[in-house]
Amino acid sequence: MARLANGWVTNCAGPAFSGFSGVGKFGPGPDRPVFKVNDQLVLAIPAKNRPSAGKFDSEPRECRQIGDLPPVPYLYFVIWGNWSAGYKPEDVPVNGSRKQFLSDAVTVRIEHDSFVTSSIEDQDRIVRLKKFNDGLLDKREIVGLICGRTVQVPHPGKQGALFCSGHRTPSDPDTIKFRTSANESTTPFVWIDAEYRSTHCGGIHVYWQVWTLDLAHAIDIDQVIWRSLAEWNLLNRTESQAARQ
């Protein structure tokens, strides 16, 4: 079955899963499969977001508690945005009869990150990132991110790869890192490929990719991903319900 091939668990019911239940129901139901990334991140993702994880031979016989959920090795989903509003359809290149990409469709991959660093290792990583940023060419600041290139662009009209890093907000410890590339002679869209480790949600490794018109929306896109994780996290709903009781 396609659901088992995508790691869907849809038979969860009980108090731990009631955060997304409708009236008279006891679980998220078949339209919100549940995925356990780690002990702090248990997501009930709408089926429309096309979630996919490791293949299961069968759903758990019983899913009454969070502990009944098998952890997934990874988790994919898609988020659609409107960052390229007003773009021209002809700006998306065509391969044969098909568009080469769908603008503002963000493909996200989440993994549990068991890599725990010491304060010394954290400082070393900060030093290495600063050294990398100091060596960038054509350096500039884009919405608070430090961006630049590792090599000189050889030809006019070709942008080459641009590397960016920075924080989602001034107080957030996460350092977002991504690279982007585009060819202005082909399309005004840019491709963003992000990858970084986060200390939030018990430690996760975050990857996302998107084609969008303006690189300045990179932080906006990342924030939407994190808002979605917070909204879908069953543990957030459980804690808020307990606080109201």
85-140 pLDDT tens trace: 888 888 888 888 888 899 999 999 999 987 655 555 556 666 666 666 666 667 88
Whole domain around residue 132: which residue ranges? Answer: 78-231
Strand ranges across the sheet with 75-80: 52-53, 75-80, 105-112, 204-212, 190-198, 176-181, 162-166, 145-149, 137-142
pLDDT in tens, 142-181: 888 888 887 655 554 455 678 888 888 888 888 888 988 7
> Which pair of tokens denotes residue 1?
């079955």
Same-domain pairing of 97 and 164: yes
Tell me, yes or no, whether 16 and 115 share the same domain.
no
* Residue 120, helix vs strand vs coil: helix
Name the DSSP class of 48.
G
pLDDT at 123: 63
Q: What would the two tokens of residue 116 be?
A: 């725990």
Assess whether 85 and 179 both reside in one domain: yes
Choose among 245, 176, 213: nearest CA to 91. Answer: 213
219 and 156 share a domain? yes
